[in-house]
Every structure is written in structure tokens, then in C-alpha cells.
Amino acid sequence: MQGGCFVSFSSTIRNGEVATVNNDYERRYREWIDKIEVETGSFALRYPEVDPDIFATVSQALFNEQKLEIVYQPRSKIDNAEAKIVYPLELVEVGGLVYLVAAMPRHPNPAMYRLDRLARAAMLPESFVYPRGFRLSVYVREQRQFDFMVEGEIDLRLRFRNGAGNHLLEAPLSEDQQVAQDGDALEVRGTVLLTQRLRWWLRAFGPNVEVMRPPSLRAELAAEAKALTALYQG
């Protein structure tokens, strides 16, 4: 009995399996997950899988705040077999890849390790003192550690064509964004961090965006455009 209503038993067939539910509310609750989907806005890549045992070990060490011994094999040293001891602080997923943020003995700043590049992980019996001043939100959003090669703030001025920048009217690129319509072009200005991720974003617009400022970034992308033209003409 629920809400004064008679409890009826029914069955639903989902994904080839029969799932028994007690009432209509339970049916809706169970089917809720099938009504929601998340899609990335970028080109979908087939990312390397993370070993489930390694993920479980890292997660357990993170939860228990215990030291972790890992063998990490970066792209520049894929045959590395040397183990190191780290202090797991956080897990972060960025664009389909999962990173372990960890501190190291005698190193002032945390380091990032891609979980799919861990050849081995073992939780040690020793615990460590979690740094009281460390905040993941600061590390990710304010220090911009996942923006790849942060080079400082710039006064970015862009000129979009063919409606390419219209989405910025609803999703600004910065808190101080300013926009102005000039004929069929949209001019956008804002203070942003100069990073590799910003460059990737600008390149995706192709000829539909022109970097007006700063001059150094404009010259950099102009040189890339000339090289690209030569590549295709050749």
C-alpha cells in the first residue's frame, strides 16, 4: 500500500530483460536513467581503458588516505618499470581521461598521472596527512592545472563570421566579456587565460574567427594558417 493506492505488480521488459516493479512510481523511478543521456560537444575519440583493478586500488587509497606505490609509464617513457610512492589527493575526469592528482615526498606541488598509464598500483599500509590547504576546486578552476601550459591572462579580442560566435551571447568566454555587432560579424572581447586549450578552441572555428588581439596570438595563428595553406596547395 502506497499513498492509499492499491499496490499492483507489473513487469516491464527493458534491454531484453524482465524487470519486476511494484507500482507505477517505482516503474518511473527505474526508467528515469533511460530518459537521460550525456553527449560530449567535441569529436568523440576512443580513449584507452583504465584497468579496473588499478582504479579500485587507487580509489581505495584515496578514500583511506594511504600512500600509494605506482609504476607510471608516460608517453616519453613507456617502458618505465621504476616504482614511486605518491600521496593520492583527488581523481579528476577531463575529456574522457581520468587523472590522479597526487603529492610526492619533498615536492611542493602536486602532480597529475593518467590512470590508463599506470602499469601497477599498490596501496601501502602507511597513511599520510592530507594537506589541509589543498582544494580540488582551486586546483582545477582557479589554478587551471588542466588547461595545459597556462601562459597568463590576455585581453582576447575576436571577430566571428557566419554566426560562429553566437553561442557566446548565452555562454560568455569570461566574466568581463563585451560583445558588439558589426554588420554580419560579431566582435567579442574578454580577459582569458592563454593556454593550449584556448588555441584548440580557436582553431576549431577555422576561417569563421579572426583573432584581433593580442598581436602575438594573431601572428601565431596567421603563421599556422599560411602553413596550412601551403600544405593543402602542395
- pLDDT digits over 59-79, tens only? 999 999 999 999 999 989 999
Q: Are 112 and 72 in contact (CB under 8 A)?
A: no
pLDDT of residue 140: 61
pLDDT of residue 151: 77
- 143, pLDDT greater than 50: no
pLDDT of residue 146: 54
pLDDT of residue 12: 41
Please tell me the distance from the alpha carbon of residue 171 to that of residue 222, in angstroms, as a whole number: 26
pLDDT of residue 46: 82
Q: What is the mean pLDDT of residues 194-213?
A: 92
- pLDDT tier at 137 (50, 70, 90 boundaries)? low
pLDDT of residue 149: 58
- pLDDT tier at 195 (50, 70, 90 boundaries)? confident
**pTM to 2 decimal places:** 0.62
Least confident of 38-52, 178-192, 194-208: 38-52
Max Cα–Cα distance, the chain, nearest Å? 77
Position with higher pLDDT, 15 vs 156: 156
pLDDT of residue 33: 80
Position with higher pLDDT, 113 vs 19: 113
Query: In this structure, what C-alpha cell is assigned to residue 104?
Result: 610526492
